[in-house]
Structure 1
Amino acid sequence: MNALNSSAETLQTHVPVAKVWVAYASEQQQFHVDVLFESGMTVLDAIQKSGIDALTTLPEPLNVGIFGVKVNDLNQVLNVGDRVEIYRALTINPKDIRRKRAKANPSSKYCRSNRFKQLN
């Protein structure tokens, strides 16, 4: 009888649990929280159950996606294993970053690149 009870206990501890993940990256910190999945769970439900809004200030309005695909409706139903991503506005324009990088490492007809300098 004891052998049956112990095997039943080990089976219960290794049962896979259905989850969804909620991810958000603020300027200072990244958050990746798993939430137990419930049938009919929406994007907004997952964000609220994750508790990320208590840990940091979320942007308004919420721009979210599931695995990198933008979602316009916060009431969209999730599937098991989905990752909800909360997006924030860019702090620096990507064009400005490229301009700074090009200025620091010039490569043109009259100016040799840093790669040429390293080879010689």
Structure 2
Amino acid sequence: MPQITVEVVYATREKQKLVNIRVEEGCSAAQAIERSGLLAEFPEINLAASKIGIFAKMVKPETVLRDKDRVEIYRPLIADPKEVRRQRVADGKVMKKGGGEA
């Protein structure tokens, strides 16, 4: 069966890892993640609960990969950006834009 090359990527605050692997055509994003070895290296990854994407576009685990795709495993957000902004507004703090004076 013909093979394709894909990258699988995961990052923590301390470390990022990019793995190039060869898989058979028709391989799903979830299968590529499992074959990449990242689940063993980062045991905190819960593939059933993690969101994944291809080149920053969210996809389902069963999405079939194409040659040179980059599969990204996303970590959950620590803080909801919308909630942080609401809290700043409630506290009367002004956000700076463009590094200039607010």
TM-score, length-scaled by structure 1: 0.61
Q: What are the ranges of 5 or more consecutive residues in structure 2 without an aligned counterpart?
A: none
Quote the offset at 1:94 in angstroms: 2.0
> Could you tell me how far apart the structure 1 residues matched to 2:70 and 2:52 are?
10
Quote the offset at 1:93 in angstroms: 2.8
User: Which structure: greater strand fraction?
Assistant: 2
2:11 equivalent in structure 1 = 25
- Greater RCO (CA < 8 Å, at least 6 residues apart): 2
1:77 equivalent in structure 2 = 64
User: Which structure: greater helix fraction?
Assistant: 1
Give deviations 1:6-65, integer Å, cap 9, x for gaps: xxxxxxxxxxx9410011112322121111131111111100110000111203413111
**Contact 1:63-1:87 at 8 Å conserved across structures:** yes
Aligned length: 91
> Could you tell me how far apart the structure 1 residues matched to 2:55 and 2:95 are?
35
Equivalence map 1:104-119=2 (5 Å): 115=101
Largest Rg, 1 or 2:
1
TM-score, length-scaled by structure 2: 0.71
Q: Identity percentage over the alignment?
A: 35
Equivalence map 1:1-12=2 (5 Å): none
Matched residue type, 2:11: A
> Could you tell me how far apart the structure 1 residues matched to 2:94 and 2:8 are?
37
1:44 equivalent in structure 2 = 30
